[in-house]
Amino acid sequence: MKSHNTNSMNLSRRRFLRGVGAAMALPAFESLLRPSLSAAATSVGAAAGAPLATTATGAPLRMAFVYFPNGAIQPNWWPTGEGKNFQLARTMLPLAKVKDSLQVFGGLDQRNAMPGNDGAGDHARASGTFLTGVRVRKTSGADIHCGVSIDQIAAKYIGQQTRFPSLELTCDSVRKSGNCDSGYSCAYQYNLSWQSPTTPVAPEPNPRLVFERLFGAGAPGQRSASLKQRQAQQKSILDFVREDARSLDHELGRGDQRKLDEYLTSVREIEKRIEDAERFNGQTPDPAMATPDGIPPSFKEHIQLMFGMMLLAFQTDSTRVATFLLANEGSNRAFPEIGIPEGHHFLSHHRNIQEMMDKVAAIDLFYMQEFAAFLEKLKETKDVDGNSMLHNSMIVYGSGNSDGNRHTHVNLPIILAGGGGGTLTPGRYVKFDGKPVSNLYLSMADRLGVTSLPRFGDSTDRLTGI
């Protein structure tokens, strides 16, 4: 493993707003980092000596994976046209505002998820293989075997440059054992990230716990006490860092003062939405379904909060690697908020019945609308180098199933959003000829500076022309 260079925005230079029980990491401000950025901008590019996980200008380069379950209705997914001259199909219409910042990939496969001698279990293989590229083992109980996921490989290389090596999020349950799909362990369907072949990295479903992880301070017991104090006094975490914020404001230029104000406003908005969820906890449409404190009864609100957390984590450079499991592969969640009482998995086996297909297409659209809103916020948020955060990111959105009705794992629905700090060519629909999706991950790892990885999972080569 290669040594890590120190970049202009490492922990020694990163600023925090501090108070009792609070340590709010801040975005990088141009007025404080301008000399370092100017020096970094003179380099030829990331491959020519820029630090790991940074762009040529020294801004952080981020990588994330967002997973949606049960495949997609194919005619509504794939664009028409090719290259720059492509038109979004119905499911992707919410992406219209960020069309020039994404690449739609066709012809990427996940062959280790296909049926074999181990029989049924396509959902477990789909998600277990998605970020590992290896065929998961069908065993019972805790005897699981997968592979190290690409996000965790990246986190091992670049994680020491940030407060948290990686961030794992979900809007579903957390399960590491038990049997879920035809004899496969539940661990494969409820975890995207794998630290080792036998150790999944459990994602966090509770927005409150993610918020406290990002902005709380002290040992776990101290953080819990600080939270209870804020709740008892009905105070925001901003109340505990107000003096530090005022002091910092005097050091900033006018543009960065506005940036600080916008950032604090976004933190307070997230905090208030979590407080609302906690206040109305238990008032769910189905009283038999307990909702833990901090988790909203609305699935839409839950997704939005988690995307908001990811945005804040990237904005403050708390991490540069993240995964977000929207729902477990094979999820049978109903969607009453869009008028669909049936379960998603049940509907995905539509047998070409148009009414069922239309409902699955509506669910696909629901997920895409939330992803598009996240990308729009990334595009609206300026990074320290003056580019958008979306320009300095690589965000994969996809599923390990292609056609949920037939459980296919070729021609996966995959989108790569972001400019990779100028190393990608977005705004295109690109068709490949049956390449492993692992090839894409190798190429993304290269851009993070993880160039010593000879292969990954079932990769055959780097994915070129992206």
pLDDT digits (tens, 9 = 90+) for 196-250: 999 999 999 999 999 999 988 777 777 778 778 788 878 899 988 888 888 888 8
In a domain, 143, yes or no: yes
What is the biggest distance separating any 2 CA atoms in the chain, rounded to whole angstroms?
A: 67
For residues 318 and 216, give the distance between their C-alpha atoms in angstroms, rounded to a whole number: 13
In a domain, 453, yes or no: no
Could you list the residue range(s) of the whole structural domain that residue 161 is in? Answer: 16-447
For 4, which DSSP code? P
In a domain, 452, yes or no: no
For residues 237 and 244, give the distance between their C-alpha atoms in angstroms, rounded to a whole number: 12
In a domain, 1, yes or no: no
In a domain, 459, yes or no: no
Q: Quick one: CA torsion of 227, 231, 236, 239, rounded to 10 degrees? A: -80
In a domain, 336, yes or no: yes
In a domain, 260, yes or no: yes
Quick count: other Cβ atoms within 10 Å of Cβ 343? 14
In a domain, 465, yes or no: no
Could you list the pLDDT tens digit for every one of the 466 residues in the chain? 333 333 444 433 567 888 878 888 888 887 776 554 444 433 333 333 445 788 888 889 999 999 999 999 999 999 999 999 999 999 999 999 999 999 999 999 999 998 887 778 899 999 999 999 999 988 755 578 899 999 999 999 999 999 999 999 999 988 766 778 778 889 999 999 999 999 999 999 999 999 999 988 777 777 778 778 788 878 899 988 888 888 888 888 888 889 889 999 999 999 999 988 888 764 544 444 455 667 898 999 999 999 999 999 999 999 999 999 999 999 999 999 999 999 999 999 999 999 999 999 999 999 999 999 999 999 999 998 899 999 999 999 999 999 999 999 999 999 999 999 999 999 999 999 999 999 999 999 999 999 889 999 999 999 999 9
Quick count: other Cβ atoms within 10 Å of Cβ 358? 14
Report the percent of the chain where pLDDT is more than 90: 64
Q: Are 59 and 421 in contact (CB under 8 A)?
A: yes
For residues 217 and 238, give the distance between their C-alpha atoms in angstroms, rounded to a whole number: 13
Q: What is the pTM of this model?
A: 0.91
Please tell me whether residue 398 adopts helix, strand or coil conformation: strand
For residues 194 and 202, give the distance between their C-alpha atoms in angstroms, rounded to a whole number: 9
Q: Three-class SS string for 348-380? A: HCCCCCHHHHHHHHHHHHHHHHHHHHHHHHHHH
CATH of the domain at 32: 3.40.720
Domain count, the chain: 1
